[in-house]
Chain A
Amino acid sequence: MNRHAWAAQTSATLLALLFLSPLVLQVVSSFKTRAELREGNQHFFPSRVSWENYREVASRTEFRQQFRNSLILCFGTVTGTLISSSLAAYGFARVRWRARKWLFGLLVATMLLPWQVTMIPRFLLLRQLGLYDSLAALILPAFLGDAFAIFLLTQFMRSLPEELSEAGRLDGLSEFGIYWHIVLPLCRPALLTVALFQFTTTWNDLGGPMLYLSSPEKFPLSYGLEQFTSSYADQTHLLLAATVLFGLPIVVLVVVMQRFFQSGFTAKPLM
């Protein structure tokens, strides 16, 4: 290893450790007792490793229920986004029709709109549809496409050689058959990237559930974390354990899907 490579690796490692340090502090502190936390950060490590905080958090029925709700929401929105966005992207990338470039530009422009802009009309619409206070209020919009996902998938699909579609047509495949049998399987890295984005967005979302849900038994885990905070007396010891559990699925998902995640942005299929 030459000197430059060594310096680059050392810098990268130090930087990684720097970014990792809050996470390490969070995990280590989650094993501290309430009394230890109250006394401040006098000692980095807990006096003894106790799983009590985790036991208490996990034993709460509402925590398990919220965990389940979060998974349901993620599962639903990922599915909805993949179906709707891949179909829309196929239309933009692989089918020639008038005004598609103009509409694609319009779609991309909607990415600039903050969520708050569409929040109220969306609320009124969902309430009129009778979906207020149901998980469907948060899941169904995902089946209507997501601008970022459509953009990402469109760019990926555009990079696929047109000859593949021609070959499919010669074999008698319909347009949907080409989408389903040829294009979609080749888009796997991009689809997984979109899925990962959607999963993390939904998992971390608090604003949406707060707006569209009212029944505590339907709230997700992001709401559950708020329950450990208070204007007067936080349950910091439980909050730390709960946030570690909250972050765990995302960490596992990112680690497992890291390879696909990178290739989703960088890969040029069949090139």
Chain B
Amino acid sequence: MANWGRALAGVMAVSLVVSVVVLNGPAPRAATPSGRNEVVFWHFWGGEDRLVVERLIARFNEAQSEYFVRGVAMPGNNFDLKVFLAVAGGNPPDLINHDDPIVGDWAARGVIQPLRAVATPAELETLRTDLVPAAQRLGDYQGEPFALCNGLDIRALYYNATLLRERGIQPPQTLTELDQLAETITPPSAERASRYGFLPDARRLWAWAPVFGGGFRTNDQGEAVVDTEENVRALEWMMSYRLRYGADNLAAFRQADQSLPGKTFPLLNDRYAVMMDGQWRIRDLRAAQASQRERNLPVIEYGVMPLPPPKNGLPNAGWVNGNIFVVPTGAKQPHGAWAFMRFWLGMGSFTDAAAQICEEGGWIPTLRSTQKSPRFLTYLKREPLFETFVQLAASDHQFPVPVVPGAAFWQREMERVGEQSLGASETRSAQTLLREAEERINAHLLRQRKALRS
């Protein structure tokens, strides 16, 4: 027993010394080159994209001699809290790249700086003319740019071109044609269908409302406007699929989508003929085709088209979100952060570098000049599916979640309305669902405003 005690004491003593003395010292890291200012950059990128971002940072660090960007990938878990504590504690990063609708909340709370603090008036004017409208909408809070959008997420309809050709169906140009396609591939009488022609995504009323000429905005009093005639029609159209196929059938089918590993694209599993998704799915399609070629299987062809509008609807419309740069209040190297933002977006002489970034990541440039650069146009010729997304990104009919404090709540509420509209137990009309959502959102926005005033 005494031996055991001595051994335990030894282990504890050694580990105490190791824990307190040795581990408190700095861990080895690549040193910032002398004479250069370190720019700490927190970002959300993971998976393959992180490797692209790391290469991009390395290229920036090689391209100039004033700053040295140190990228830190930060998972979403507790990220907002970490930023808030870092700002309050006086130790924020110099630049953050985020992909959530945080601009309104963070700007209203003084967590981030307006871009005029880092950019010259001439540079801001360049952004006004060169940024596509959707990117401007994502970064402006109360008419002032607080964030710089460095990538847009655009939704379009992917379709299985091989399947449509076999069935003698043309890609739909109007909403009526889309509905007809859905019924042709999967008749309403089908029980436990293994494939649907098309199903509206419950989360994407955000995308369909602008297609119907509606959308979500705030009025002059800062109140949410949700219950409009166009939005009601969009939601009624989504509900029509529940009535057509039965809510239980849809729920069972969608449940099976969830069993696919990771973020597998259901179009690849032949579960849909047409489905909505973003531009990042192109690399999944290309990888699947490469795998089919490798195994000497027939290669399935795919196409992309804008969301088809109804009569009197808006063409090239939809919901946009994206990746945004923000400079936290108290950043020690805000101008270094701005230099890196300019490099990423392709401002000034960096157009070609930015085109290369977008090509490697499969990202949509937010500057028109980068979109039209020879390098990017060459890429679009090689990847025609991407071209549709770039055209949509330039459209004036792409709308984000309104940039207000409480935007995340608003986004979730509309997704909830979509879920309710397709749910089996829902008996309320589309208008009632929207009106109730509007009340909840306005109550939340009011609480936000009161909290900010206090």
Contacts and interface: CB of A to CB of B under 8 A. Distances in A.
Nearest to B261: A37
Interface stretch (A51-59, A73-81, A104-112, A246-254): A73-81
A171 B45 CA distance: 65
Contacts, number: 161
Interface string A226-258: 111111111110010000000000000000000
B48 A230 contact: yes
Nearest to B263: A234
B32 interface: no
A79 B23 contact: no
A39 B268 contact: yes
B73 A124 contact: no
A70 interface: no
Interface stretch (A10-18, A88-96, A131-139): A131-139
Nearest to A139: B19
B24 A135 contact: yes
A136 B24 contact: yes
B27 interface: yes
B284 A233 contact: yes
Q: Chain A at the B interface: mostly helix, strand, loop or mixed? A: helix
Contacts of A185: 1, 4-5
B263 A40 contact: no
B11 A232 contact: no
Contacts of B268: 38-40
Contacts of A118: none
10 contacts: A76-B19, A80-B19, A83-B12, A136-B20, A210-B78, A210-B82, A227-B50, A228-B46, A229-B75, A230-B48
B176 interface: no
A8 B193 CA distance: 41
Given A38-B291, A211-B85, A218-B27, A79 B11 contact: yes
A211 B81 contact: yes
Contact of A216 (B1, B72, B269): B72
B28 interface: yes
Interface in B65-94: 72-75, 77-79, 81-82, 85-86, 89, 91, 93
A206 interface: yes
Contact of B5 (A37, A184, A232): A184
A120 B75 contact: no
B60 interface: no
Contact of B27 (A215, A231, A234): A215
Given A143-B16, A215-B27, A230-B46, 10 more contacts: A37-B262, A39-B288, A40-B264, A75-B15, A140-B19, A184-B8, A211-B85, A214-B40, A227-B50, A233-B48
B85 A38 contact: no
B280 A233 contact: yes
Contacts of B91: 127, 132, 214
A181 B50 contact: no
Contacts of A139: 19-20, 23
A197 interface: no
B324 to A, nearest CB: 13
A148 interface: no
Nearest to B323: A231
A154 interface: no
Contacts of A180: 5, 9
B454 interface: no
A136 B1 contact: no
A72 interface: yes
Nearest to A180: B5
Contact of A232 (B23, B40, B81, B280): B280
A75 B15 CA distance: 7
Contacts of A149: none
B12 A206 contact: no
A198 interface: no
Nearest to A37: B261
B260 A229 contact: no
B47 interface: yes
A217 B27 contact: yes
A32 to B, nearest CB: 9
B383 to A, nearest CB: 16
A120 B85 CA distance: 8
Contacts of B19: 72, 75-76, 79-80, 136, 139-140
In the A-B complex, the 5 residue pairs with the smallest Cβ-Cβ separation, listed nearest first, are A230-B47, A226-B75, A236-B262, A76-B19, A232-B280
A29 B262 CA distance: 11
A215 B45 CA distance: 16
B259 interface: yes
Contacts of B99: 231
